[in-house]
Amino acid sequence: MAARQRLGVGIIGAGNISSQYLKAMRTFPVLDIRGIADMRPDVAERKAAEFGVKAASVEALLADSSVEILVNLTIPRAHVAVGLRAIAAGKHVYSEKPIGVNFAEARTLVAAARKKGVRIGSAPDTFLGGSHQQARAVVDSGKLGTIIGGTASFGVPGHEYWHPDPAFYYDVGGGPVLDMGPYYITGLVNLLGPVKAVQAMSLTPAKQRPIRSEPKKGQMMPVKVFTHVTGTLQFASGALVQVSLSFDVPKHTHRPLEIYGTEASMQVPDPNMFGGEVKIARPRAEDWDDVPVRIPYADANYRSLGVADMAYAILNDRPHRCSGDLALHVLEVMEAFETASKSGQIVRIKTKVERPAPMTDSLKRGKIA
Ligand SMILES: NC(=O)c1ccc[n+]([C@@H]2O[C@H](COP(=O)([O-])OP(=O)(O)OC[C@H]3O[C@@H](n4cnc5c(N)ncnc54)[C@H](O)[C@@H]3O)[C@@H](O)[C@H]2O)c1
């Protein structure tokens, strides 16, 4: 009998980000989209019509035996509840980030998947993008020497300037750390390995903020999270990385990620993107040298690459890269920013993960090994 080539995929959550998934999933023949659902059926129907897929109710999608991987694109506070339902229905689950709004609930999700014998995966998958994998190859080549430190910097005036319904970014489960931290911290773990401890200080300058985008322009949103967060990550390797994640920055000129080694420094592009320039410079160099990006998936938005990797991993019985354990480690680190900020104490991280396997040239043949 011929080996199976495709896995059935169902999507729950037909909001903003689902368009990017539905578009990028067309790149990956391994993903056979069986339907999309939302607690607002009209939203699912509109999205299904736009992308030529089937709309279904949440219940029908979960009951559909042809759906093997459930892609959970609901809002952060619903990730665990929806994920648990899908696991109970026997589906592998791939969740948007963060995997849960706190470590305790996310751990139940990862444990439930393990017990049921299904996979749990989570965004972000941008670290699988060609530029981030090229940066990883630079680290692995030893060109930077021993990594001493680095910086991670994200600062915007707030998603209320563009998102049509931004209140969830300021509710429990939102904030710059849970929203953007997954990209930055996962990107750093891919490069440097697991985090050992976190030190942080944070602010909530405004207890409510106005929505600045249509259609809800002018409505006030309560702010229940820190919106300006600074801290230091100590990696198990010993490297120290300064982190700044903020929804209170009108404009800035910092690079998203820089890594400093004993032999050279490296600029790593925006970890929310798959591509971008990678550059290195040795001590006292006049300028930065470009590192040619030769690894695929750097030229577009491939959101769902992590789902495709998980599908190939299931078909080939190998670990998937955007794993629940990686997402859980990153969530523990993100939560530690809050705990450390409130307590003034350094928080030690208990979970340990291995760096996901680097991507290989087999990508060029349209597969992910
Ligand atoms: N918008 C972005 O640019 C972006 C980028 C990357 C990741 N994300 C992540 O993607 C997720 C979704 O973000 P979004 O911007 O698409 O949000 P959204 O509010 O636009 O869409 C979420 C959808 O999920 C549905 N939903 C919520 N709870 C549900 C439930 N219990 N059952 C069924 N449907 C439910 C809502 O009706 C809504 O249509 C979030 O976790 C976010 O962090 C968003």
- Which residue's CA lies nearest to atom 26 of ligand 1? 74
* Interacting residues of 305 by C-beta distance below 8 A, sequence separation 6+: 24, 28, 125, 128, 129, 274, 297, 368
Handedness of CA 6, 293, 126, 299 (dihedral sign): negative
Where in the chain do CATH 3.30.360.10 domains reside? Answer: 130-295+329-348
Q: Which of 73, 301, 331 to mutate to test the pocket of ligand 1 (most atoms within 8 A of CB)?
A: 73
Q: What is the DSSP string of 257-306?
A: EEEEESS-EEEE--TTSS---EEEE-TT-SSPEEE---SSS-SS--TTHH
The reply to whether ligand 1 has any atom less than 6 angstroms from the CB of 59 is no
pLDDT score at 4: 75
Predicted pLDDT of residue 367: 66
- 146-171: average pLDDT: 96
Query: What angle in degrees, to the nearest 10, is found between the helix axes of 103-116 and 79-88?
Result: 10
Question: Residues 172-200: what's their mean pLDDT?
Answer: 96
Give the pLDDT band of residue 1 (cuts 50, 70, 90).
Answer: very low
* Segments in the chain forming alpha helices (H): 18-24, 41-51, 58-63, 79-88, 103-116, 130-141, 175-192, 305-316, 324-343
Query: Quick one: tokens of 12?
Result: 């729950």
95 lines ligand 1 (CB under 6 A): no
CA gyration radius for the chain?
A: 20
- For residues 261-275, give the mean pLDDT: 98
Q: Is 7-122 CATH 3.40.50.720?
A: yes
Structure token pair of residue 221:
């949103």
In angstroms, what is the span from residue 188 Cα to ligand 1's centroid? 25
Q: Yes or no: say if 51 and 23 are a contact pair by the CB < 8 Å rule.
A: yes
Ligand 1 near 245 CB (within 6 A): no
Helices 324-343 and 103-116, packing angle to 10 deg: 160
CA-closest candidate to residue 167, choices 123, 209, 117, 130 = 209
Give pLDDT, residue 23.
Answer: 97
Q: Which of 155, 176, 167, 251 is nearest to 213 (CA)?
A: 167
Q: Is the CB of 58 under 6 A from ligand 1?
A: yes
pLDDT at 2 over 70: no
- pLDDT of amino acid 360: 74
User: What is the number of residues in the chain?
Assistant: 369
CATH superfamily of 130-295+329-348: Dihydrodipicolinate Reductase; domain 2 (3.30.360.10)
In the chain, list all ranges with CATH 3.40.50.720: 7-122
Average pLDDT value for residue range 234-245:
98
Q: Is 14 in the pocket of ligand 1 (CB under 6 A)?
A: yes
332 in contact with ligand 1, CB cutoff 6 A: no
The rounded percent of the chain whose pLDDT value lies above 90 is: 94
Cβ-based burial of 49 (10 A; exposed 0-12, middle 13-18, buried ≥19)? exposed
Q: Output the residue whose Cα is nearest ligand 1's atom 15.
A: 16
| Mean pLDDT (whole number) for 198-209 | 98
Q: How far apart are CA 139 and CA 359, in angstroms?
A: 14
Does residue 305 register a pLDDT over 60? yes
Q: 17 CB under 6 A from ligand 1? A: yes
Q: Which two tokens stand for residue 337?
A: 């920013």
- Give the residue, out of 75, 171, 272, with the most ligand 1 atoms within 8 A of its beta carbon, to mutate for a pocket test: 75
Interstrand relation of 147-155 and 240-246 (parallel, antiparallel or unpaired): parallel
Those residues whose C-beta lies under 8 Å from the C-beta of residue 155, and which sit 6 or more positions away, are 244, 245, 246, 248, 249, 252, 254
Rounded Cα distance between 171 and 40, Å, is 21
